[in-house]
Amino acid sequence: MAEGIRNKVAIIGMGCTRFGEHWDRSAESLAAEAFEEAIGDAGIDKKDIHAAWLSTCFDEGNVGKSAIPLAAALKLPYIPVTRVENLCASGTDAVRGACYAVASGACDVALAVGVEKLKDIGYGGLPDFSQLRGIYNRQIFPNQTAPGQFAMLANKYFNRYGLSREEGKRTIAKISAKSHANGAMNPKAHLRREVDVDTIMNAPMIADPLGLFDCCGVTEGAAAAIVVRADRARDFRPDPLYVKALQIAVSPEEEFRFQQWDGTHVETTYRCGQRAYQEAGIKAPREELSMMEVHDCFSITELVTYEDLQISPRGQAKQDIDEGFFDLNGKIPCQSDGGLKSFGHPIGASGIRMIYEVYNQLQGKCGDRQIKDPRLGLTHNLGGFPANCVIGMTIWGNEL
Amino acid sequence: MKGIIDYGVYLPYYRLKRETIFRAMGWFNPATAGMAKGEKTIANYDEDSLTMAVAAGIDCLTNMKRERIDALHLASTTLPYKERGNASIAGAALNLSPHTRTADFTGCLKSGTTALISALTALEGETTLVCVSDSRLGKAGGAQEQLFGDGGAAVAVGNEGVIARLMGHYSVSYDFPDQRRMDGDRYVRGWEERWIRDAGYFKMIPDAIQGVLNQCGLGINDLAKVVYAPLGMKDHMAMAKRLGLKSQQIQPALMDSVGNTGSAHPLLMLIGALETSRPGDKILAVSFGSGSDALLFEVTDEITAFQSKNKLNTNLEYKGELENYTQYLSFKGMLPKELGIRGEEVAPTSLSLYWREQNAVLRLVGARCKACGTPQFPKDPVCINPECDALDQMEDYPFSDKTGMLFTYTADHLAYSEDPPALYGIVDFEGGGRYWFDITDCRLESLKVGKPVQMTFRRRYLDQGRSVAGYFWKAMPFKG
C-alpha cells in the first residue's frame, strides 16, 4: 500500500451552520456563514487560502453546476476552486481534495465547503431519483427511493439473522433513540428532541420495515474546513486535528448484479474501512477508536456499519446496541452530535459536519455531550445505496 | 392444412366485483342491478393491451421455441400507438427476431379472428404467432362498464405439431354501427342494446356459422363445442337456444369471471374449449363485430400433451380483488388524483437512447460472459464477475424467460406509485444473474425473501404530454 497522508495534513479551523429547513436562507448565505466561522476559528484571512473545494449533490434545485457559486458567494480572489459531487459522500471528497492538495505541496492552506439546499423542490424527501443516474438507468432502475433501498438491507438482515420484524425494528429503533438523545443536546441540530423507542417503532411507515424515525432529516446547511500542512499546524493553533486516514471506496455494482453479495452488509464500507485502518495504523478498531460519526441515513445503515467497520462481529451488532456500547457514555460513542438522524443531512455538507463533531470533541468543546478524553475519531460517509455506493472515511487524532 | 400448434392465455391479476361497481354507480343507473353479478378482470395500472398481448404470447412460448416464428400478428381495438408499430414493440418484447414479419390488426372486435384467419391462410410452411388483447372502457355507470373485461390470448399457427386443424372458415362483413370510437375517443359509444342484439348479434353469428358448416358439409350437431362472442349478460344463452345447441356444446362465455375481452374473447374461449377437448372433436369459433368470422377446427391427438398446463384455469385462479371502485377509475385514468409535486414530475424519454438500448429495455436481453459463463444484466464490456474481469467477451443472454427468487424487497411509501406502496426488490435468476426490479401483481404480505418470481413486460410510465409509453420488465410472483 502507498504511504498515504497520515500525519501530513491538519485541520486548523472549522465552521458549521445550524442545520434545518432554512426557508429564508440561500445556499450562498449558508456557505458564507460556515466559511466565516471556519476562518475565524483558524485565525486566518481569506487571502491566505490557496485553493478551495465545494461539495454539493443535487445541483438542479440548488446552486447549479461548477465551483463558480462558491467563488462568487465568498468572493474568492481567482484561486483554484473545484466542485466535487459524489452523492451523499461529496463532503468527504471535498475534504480529500483539500488534504491531497496540501499533502502534495501544491498549496499550503486549502478550504473545503459543503452546502446543500433541498427544500426548494416543493415536496418532502430527497428530490426525485429518476434521473440521478442518467437517462438510461431511468429506463431500467426500479421506482426507488433511498429509504426503500435501505429497507431492502433491513429485510435481508432480519431474515438472515433470524430477527422477527418486531425484534429487528426494536433493535434499530434503539439506534435512532440514542442519536435523538444526543442531538437534543446539540444547539445546531435540526431535529433537536428526544424520541422514545415505542414512538419510533409505531411511526408511519416510509419503506417497509423503516418508519419515519428510522430515516434521517431532509436538511439544509453548510460546513467548512481549513487544512494546512501538519508540520505548520501549531503555528495557527495549539490543538489542531491531524489526519490519520482519508479513504474513498466506490462500488463496482457487483453487489446487485452478481450473485455473491449477501445483502446484509455494505461491502464498500468494509473495503474502505480496511484501507482506512491500514493507513491509520489501527489494528483493533474496537479497542483503539474513541468515537465515531457514521452515515446513519437510516437506522439500519448505522447497524450494519458497526459490523462493516469491524467494531461489532457480523450479526452481533444487536448485542452491542442492547448493551449501550455506542451510547454517549459507552465504549465508542457513535453520533455524539445526533448524526444525520438528529443533526440532519444537508447532503453536500454532511461529510464535513461529521468531521466538525470529531474536531470539537477532540478539542474538548462539546459541553453537555462531551466524550471523556477522546483521542481518535472516525467519520464514515455513504453516498448511494447499500448495493452501489461511494464511501468516504476519515480518521483524525489530536496528536502527531 | 395449417392449424393451431400452441396457445397462451393472459388474464390480469385484478378482479373487480360487479357488485362493487353497482354500489358505487347504481344510484345513477339502477337498471344495471341485474348485471351486478360475478366479477371482471381489470388490467393493472402498469398494463395496456400491448403488455397483455405480450404476456399471452409469452405464455404461448413456454411450449415452443421462438425461433420457429416467422410472423407476428397483433390484434386489438385498444393498441396504445396509432403511429409506431405496436406489433414491432410486441415482437421485441417477445424477443422475436427482427426479421419477423409483423402486422397490427385493429378496427373492430373481429380483428382477433381475422388475424387468426390471416395466419392460417398465410404461406404454407410459415409459423405465425397471433397475439390478441383488449382493454376497452365504458363510461362510469353504464352497462358497458359492467360487461367489459381486460385480457389477452395467443395462438400459434403452423404446419407441424398441429393440435387443432383448420377445416374451414367463413366471414361476413357489414358496417353494423353497434359500437364505435373515433380518433381521440376513450370510451365506447353504442346504440340501443335490443337493436344490437336482434338486428346484429342474432343474425350475423348464425349467418357465419351456417356459411362454414355448409362449406364443410357439416351440421350443428357434428360440433363438440361452439365458441361465440358474448354480448350482454344473458344473450349468450339466448343465442344457444337459437342455434339449437345442447348444453354440452356451449363453451362458457366467462362473463361472470372475466367479462368481455373484445377482440381477444373468441380466442380466449377457443383456448378454453381446446383445454377440455378430445382428439377428433370439432370446435367452431365465431367472433362478432362489424360482421363475423367463423373458424372450424378439428382437434388432433397432439392436444393431450398441452392440456396438463391448464392455462386458462391458472389465469382464472391467479387473482386479487380490487376492492375500491375509485381505484379502478384511477387505474383507467378516469380519476384526476392529487399526485403531489413528486408525482407530477415526468422526466423526458430519450428515444435515441431507447433505440440504442432496445435489447435491454424491450427484450430484457443482457449478456453471458464467454470467458466465465456468468449471466449479467445489463450488458457491459467488462465482466461483472470480479474473479473473471474479461473484456469484450459478452454474448447476448435473455432474462425474460428466466425464473428467479426474491433476494430482498421492500414496500416504498415515499416513491410515487399509481398503486402505492411501490414494491421492488432484487432478483437472483436461476442459472445466474442478479438485478433489481419493480415488483407487480401482488401485495406486500405475499412477499418474502426467497419467493419464486417470473418476469413480466409492463408499462413503467405514460408520458401523455410527449406521447411516450415507457415499457420495461418487472418481477411478479411465479404464476406457473
What pLDDT, on a 0 to 100 scale, did the predictor assign at position B344? 86
User: Is B410 in the A-facing interface, judged by CB distances under 8 Å?
Assistant: yes
- Which residues of chain A lie closer than 8 angstroms to B412, CB-CB? 143-145, 147-148, 151, 206-208
What pLDDT, on a 0 to 100 scale, did the predictor assign at position A61? 72
Whether the pTM exceeds 0.90: the reply is yes
ipTM beyond 0.85? yes
Report the 3 state secondary structure along B394-442. EEEEECCCCCEEEEEEEEECCCCCCCCCEEEEEEEECCCCEEEEEECCC
What pLDDT, on a 0 to 100 scale, did the predictor assign at position B245? 98
Whether residue B383 has pLDDT greater than 90:
yes
Phi first, then psi: what are they for A83, rounded to 5°?
-95, 135
Whether residue B37 has pLDDT greater than 80:
yes
User: Is B185 in the A-facing interface, judged by CB distances under 8 Å?
Assistant: no
What pLDDT, on a 0 to 100 scale, did the predictor assign at position A75? 98
Mean pLDDT of A278-282: 98
Tell which wins on pLDDT, B307 or A341. Answer: A341
Least CA distance to A151: which residue of chain B? B410
A372 to chain B, minimum CA–CA distance in Å?
40
All 3 cell numbers of residue B224?
363438440
Whether residue A121 has pLDDT greater than 90:
no
User: Could you say which DSSP state residue B244 is in?
Assistant: T
B375 to chain A, minimum CA–CA distance in Å?
8
Question: Would you please indicate which residues of A are annotated as catalytic (active-site) residues?
Answer: 88, 345
Mean pLDDT of B35-64: 96
User: Is A156 in the B-facing interface, judged by CB distances under 8 Å?
Assistant: yes
What pLDDT, on a 0 to 100 scale, did the predictor assign at position A130? 72
8 Å CB contact of A258 and B384: yes
State the angle between helix axes of A299-308 and A165-183 in degrees (0 to 180), rounded to the nearest 10: 90
Whether residue B73 has pLDDT greater than 90:
yes
Write the pLDDT tens digit of every residue in A14-63.
Answer: 999 999 999 999 999 999 999 999 999 999 999 999 999 999 999 877 88
Query: Between residues 411 and 440 of chain B, which touch chain A (CB distance below 8 Å)?
Result: 411-417, 421-422, 424-426, 428, 432-438
| Measured distance between the N- and C-terminal CA atoms of chain B, rounded to whole angstroms | 32
- Which residues of chain B lie closer than 8 angstroms to A207, CB-CB? 410-414, 421
Write the pLDDT tens digit of every residue in B164-177.
Answer: 999 999 999 999 99
Phi first, then psi: what are they for A113, rounded to 5°?
-130, 130
Mean pLDDT of B464-478: 96
Mean pLDDT of A64-93: 97
What pLDDT, on a 0 to 100 scale, did the predictor assign at position B187? 98
Q: Which residues contact B203 (CB under 8 A, 6 or more apart)?
A: none
Query: Between residues 364 and 393 of chain B, which touch chain A (CB distance below 8 Å)?
Result: 374, 376-378, 384-386
Mean pLDDT of B116-144: 96
The mean pLDDT value of chain A amounts to 96
Query: Between residues 256 and 275 of chain A, which touch chain B (CB distance below 8 Å)?
Result: 256-260, 263
Least CA distance to B444: which residue of chain A? A208
8 Å CB contact of B434 and A121: no
What pLDDT, on a 0 to 100 scale, did the predictor assign at position B1? 77
All 3 cell numbers of residue B19?
357488485
* Of A98, A90, A27, A111, nearest in space to A61 by CA: A27
Confidence of residue B468 (pLDDT cuts 50, 70, 90): very high
Mean pLDDT of B168-188: 96
What pLDDT, on a 0 to 100 scale, did the predictor assign at position B308? 78
All 3 cell numbers of residue B356?
440504442
User: Is A122 in the B-facing interface, judged by CB distances under 8 Å?
Assistant: yes
User: Is A301 in the B-facing interface, judged by CB distances under 8 Å?
Assistant: no
Nearest to B408 among A128, A152, A204 (CB): A152
- Which residues of chain B lie closer than 8 angstroms to A155, CB-CB? 408-410, 449
8 Å CB contact of A253 and B415: no
8 Å CB contact of B449 and A208: no
Q: What is the largest CA-CA distance in chain B?
A: 73
Write the pLDDT tens digit of every residue in B229-251.
Answer: 999 999 999 999 999 999 999 99
What pLDDT, on a 0 to 100 scale, did the predictor assign at position B105? 98
| Measured distance between the N- and C-terminal CA atoms of chain A, rounded to whole angstroms | 21
Express as a percent the part of chain B with pLDDT over 90: 95
Q: How many CB pairs under 8 A join A and B?
A: 137
8 Å CB contact of A258 and B413: no
Express as a percent the part of chain A with pLDDT over 70: 100
DSSP per-residue codes, B109-153: TTHHHHHHHHHHTSSTT--EEEEEEE--B--TTSHHHHHB--EEE
- Which residues of chain B lie closer than 8 angstroms to A135, CB-CB? 347, 349-350, 353
B7 to chain A, minimum CA–CA distance in Å?
30
Compute chain B's Rg from CA coordinates: 23
Burial of A351 (0-12, 13-18, 19+ CB in 10 A): buried
A150 to chain B, minimum CA–CA distance in Å?
9
What pLDDT, on a 0 to 100 scale, did the predictor assign at position A392? 98
Write the pLDDT tens digit of every residue in A302-340.
Answer: 999 999 999 999 999 999 999 999 999 999 999 999 999
Residue B107 has, within 13 A of its CA and on its CB side, a CA count of 10
Write the pLDDT tens digit of every residue in A162-181.
Answer: 999 999 999 999 999 999 99
Query: Between residues 340 and 369 of chain B, which touch chain A (CB distance below 8 Å)?
Result: 340-342, 345, 347, 349-350, 353-354, 357, 360-361
A321 to chain B, minimum CA–CA distance in Å?
24
8 Å CB contact of A205 and B424: no
Report the C-alpha gap between B390 and A320 in whole angstroms. 42
A389 to chain B, minimum CA–CA distance in Å?
15
B163 to chain A, minimum CA–CA distance in Å?
39
Nearest to B378 among A140, A153, A207 (CB): A140
Express as a percent the part of chain A with pLDDT over 90: 92
- A374 prior amide bond cis, ω within 30: no
8 Å CB contact of A123 and B340: yes
3-state secondary structure of A19: coil
Whether residue B338 has pLDDT greater than 80:
yes
Whether residue A76 has pLDDT greater than 90:
yes
* Of A46, A39, A47, nearest in space to A12 by CA: A39
Confidence of residue B384 (pLDDT cuts 50, 70, 90): very high
B357 to chain A, minimum CA–CA distance in Å?
8
Mean pLDDT of A76-87: 97
- Which residues of chain B lie closer than 8 angstroms to A141, CB-CB? 436
Q: Which residues pair with B369 in a beta bridge?
A: B394
8 Å CB contact of A258 and B386: yes
Q: Which residues pair with B179 in a beta bridge?
A: B190
A143, A153, A156: which to substitute to probe chain B, counting the most B Cβ within 10 Å?
A143
User: Is B472 in the A-facing interface, judged by CB distances under 8 Å?
Assistant: yes
Report the C-alpha gap between A386 and A264 in whole angstroms. 9
User: Is B444 in the A-facing interface, judged by CB distances under 8 Å?
Assistant: yes
Write the pLDDT tens digit of every residue in B403-456.
Answer: 999 999 999 999 999 999 999 999 999 999 999 999 999 999 999 999 999 999
